[in-house]
Amino acid sequence: MIKNIASLMLIALALQASAQSFNNLPVLTQKPPLHGKHWMAITGKPLAATAGSMIFTRGGNAVDAACAMLAATCTMWDVLSWGGETQALIYNPKTKKVIAINALGVAPTGATATFFKDKGMKYPPEFGPLAAVTPGTPGGLLTMLAEFGTMSLKEVLAPALQMAEGYPIEAQTANSIERAKEQIKQWPYSKKVFLTHPGEKREAPNAGEIFIQKDLSITMQKMIEAEQAALKKGKSRKDAIYAAYDRFYKGDIAREIARGTQEQGGLITEKDLAEWKVKIEEPTMTNYRGVEVYKLQQWTQGPAMLQTLNILENFNLREMGYNSTRYIHTVYQAMNLAFADRDFYYGDPAFAPEEPMQGLLSKDYARERSKLINPDANDPRIGPGDPYPFEGKQNPHLEILNRWKNRQAYDFRVRTSPTEKFLDDFAAGTTSIETADKEGWVVSVTPSGGWVPACIAGNTGVGLSQRMQSFVLDPEENPFNVVEPGKRPRVTLTPSMALKDGKPYLSFAKQAGDEQDQLLIQFFLNMVEFGMTVQEACEAPSFKTQQMYSSFGDHEKVVGGLVLNSAMPPWVRKDLSRMGYKLSYQDRTSGPINAIWFDWMHGSFWGGSSNHGEDYGIGW
């Protein structure tokens, strides 16, 4: 009897140790980690990673490579297009600072809450020309390249231009086109590009078919022509790239985008395009147990990850054990607190009133929020807090906040169970791009917008964004994110970077809408708290909360909705059900996450990519 008890105690201690020191386990990942000494390039499609490798082998830096990969993913319609939006973090080894790139488009002229309400809409539409904010990706690419790259636009666009002239389309995109062909037929320019077999049973391209985009190749050639003409006039590399910028946003390309959009019922004007600018900003940051974690500003959901980490610092997660009942419950509740604040306070900082980011990201506010976590049950009434006192100010929307607390403002958007559409909207995908080089440049990008079925703007080959749907029309839902002309919607797109001891530690990002930051939090904790390698952390089973308002579709949430990995043991399932969670399961819950870890001890890079989708990379 004593022997049996001793054996059970040893097994329990071993399980606890394994949860605390994952790096010592002989974990077999489905994908091998990537290794490199000189550079690393990871993204959503192998062909796009190859585009980055081509730039690296020609002497480009990590910014050059990231721009080439961005152009390639847009050309491949990797759940985005050239008319979408680009969000990036860049580590500059010369200044030892992290820089934020805001290349999100804005609501065009005429896009008001009244305009959409008069059309009988609860939110701006999910698809079509009225779903479009101004294109941001070309401006983001050109700005990053001009300010921080080393190569010409002609060199960087070479892989994407080759692809536009014809590349073998992969099954994922080809099948997406076929599924969406009835919507695509609504827009004549989209129909011309996508439906390569009109009138046949399958009208979309077949997997492996050479997919040609003549209009898009002409658009890219026009940008290159503008750059090359400026260089012939003696302009600098930087000024020549901005000449291409001007041709896209102020020249003949802009005129055709505006004309083609308006012809199909959209609102974008030439003035909207000419007045839009890329912003180079300061990122937001918090320190979690000695690691500096950087995100974009509150026009994204990124600071919610920082808030969650601030809350979780008040708990001993390592002692709880990886994916134990207590761990899942605590992280879930912390995320709910942070995302409730996201749902109420986040929006475009260029528009008044100013969002209370100092209060939201303060450690004192996090400590107060952490006290709201019930250790024994899910709290279905979790709502936004009031961070204004933590920065010595009065909340300008206290009346709306009080109505939220009384559940008057948002009951109608709460679901008891997820519909198929809710699940599709909640996890809507895009791509991510991670690059690094031996000089110390690091880039993390989460571009998106213009996914299939996209409305193509005239004869440009440029698919328009669908990001307008992330606005609300009623200030009762989020007083900081009501649509108005010139305003950026609050988006889910959220690249990440971390520094430790003053040096790059992690560069990481993922696709999939409202899932992004909640899975990035768990990836980060997998490494920092449980000692996993970057590939283990990318593949490790995660869980997902649905108790946050979707940024898409009908903007609903499922109170207590918790998605677990199918391999979760029955005793954990039972405990979580008892705590009030509505459980559902997925076979893969890890990503897709793409990441680079910096091994300073050996002077090398480790690349990781989830066993989820086609994401992968290449290093040297």
Residue with tokens 């989820």: 612
Per-residue pLDDT band at 427 (split at 50, 70, 90)? low
Per the structure block, which two tokens stand in for 214? 């003549």
Let me know: does 558 contact 547? Beta carbons within 8 Å.
yes
Per the structure block, which two tokens stand in for 411? 């009951």
pLDDT, the chain, mean: 92
Please tell me the distance from the alpha carbon of residue 476 to that of residue 38, in angstroms, as a whole number: 51
Residue 408 has a pLDDT of: 47
Higher pLDDT, 428 or 68: 68
Residue with tokens 């083609």: 260
Per-residue pLDDT band at 556 (split at 50, 70, 90)? confident
Higher pLDDT, 612 or 389: 389
Interior angle at CA 459, CA 454 and CA 462, nearest 5 = 40
Higher pLDDT, 426 or 525: 525
Residue 331 has a pLDDT of: 98
Let me know: does 221 contact 214? Beta carbons within 8 Å.
no
Please tell me the distance from the alpha carbon of residue 446 to that of residue 410, in angstroms, as a whole number: 30
Per-residue pLDDT band at 406 (split at 50, 70, 90)? confident
Asked if residue 429 has pLDDT above 70, the reply is: no
Q: How many other C-beta atoms are found inside a 10 Å radius of the C-beta of residue 520? A: 25
Per-residue model confidence as pLDDT tens digits over 358-397: 999 999 999 999 999 999 999 988 999 999 999 999 999 9
Please tell me the distance from the alpha carbon of residue 328 to that of residue 263, in angstroms, as a whole number: 50
Mean pLDDT value across residues 106-122:
97
Asked if residue 15 has pLDDT above 50, the reply is: no
Asked if residue 16 has pLDDT above 80, the reply is: no
Please tell me the distance from the alpha carbon of residue 483 to that of residue 124, in angstroms, as a whole number: 9
Please tell me the distance from the alpha carbon of residue 566 to that of residue 564, in angstroms, as a whole number: 6
Sheet with 616-619: strands ordered across: 279-281, 97-103, 86-92, 442-445, 433-437, 39-43, 616-619
Higher pLDDT, 9 or 115: 115
Residue 14 has a pLDDT of: 35
Residue 293 has a pLDDT of: 98
Task: Name which of 303, 439, 422 is nearest 360 in CA terms.
Answer: 303
Higher pLDDT, 247 or 586: 247
Q: What predicted TM-score, i.e. pTM, was given to this entire model?
A: 0.93
Please tell me the distance from the alpha carbon of residue 294 to that of residue 361, in angstroms, as a whole number: 12
Residue 323 has a pLDDT of: 95
Amino acid type, 210: I
Per-residue pLDDT band at 25 (split at 50, 70, 90)? very low
Asked if residue 1 has pLDDT above 70, the reply is: no
Residue 615 has a pLDDT of: 84
Residue 425 has a pLDDT of: 59
Least confidently predicted of 10-24, 262-276, 395-409, 538-552: 10-24
Residue 4 has a pLDDT of: 40
Let me know: does 366 contact 338? Beta carbons within 8 Å.
no
Asked if residue 252 has pLDDT above 60, the reply is: yes
Please tell me the distance from the alpha carbon of residue 606 to that of residue 619, in angstroms, as a whole number: 9
CB under 8 Å to 443, separation ≥6 — which residues?
Answer: 62, 63, 65, 66, 88, 89, 90, 91, 144, 433, 434, 435, 436, 507
Asked if residue 10 has pLDDT above 70, the reply is: no
Cβ contacts of 380-383, under 8 Å, gap ≥ 24: 380/547, 380/559, 380/560, 380/580, 381/407, 382/333, 382/336, 382/337, 382/340, 382/547, 383/340, 383/344
Please tell me the distance from the alpha carbon of residue 79 to that of residue 453, in angstroms, as a whole number: 9
Task: Name which of 309, 370, 312 is nearest 520 in CA terms.
Answer: 309
Residue 420 has a pLDDT of: 66
Asked if residue 160 has pLDDT above 90, the reply is: yes
Please tell me the distance from the alpha carbon of residue 144 to that of residue 160, in angstroms, as a whole number: 17
Amino acid type, 164: A
DSSP, collapsed to helix, strand or coil, labels residue 561 as strand
Residue 78 has a pLDDT of: 79
Please tell me the distance from the alpha carbon of residue 240 to that of residue 219, in angstroms, as a whole number: 17
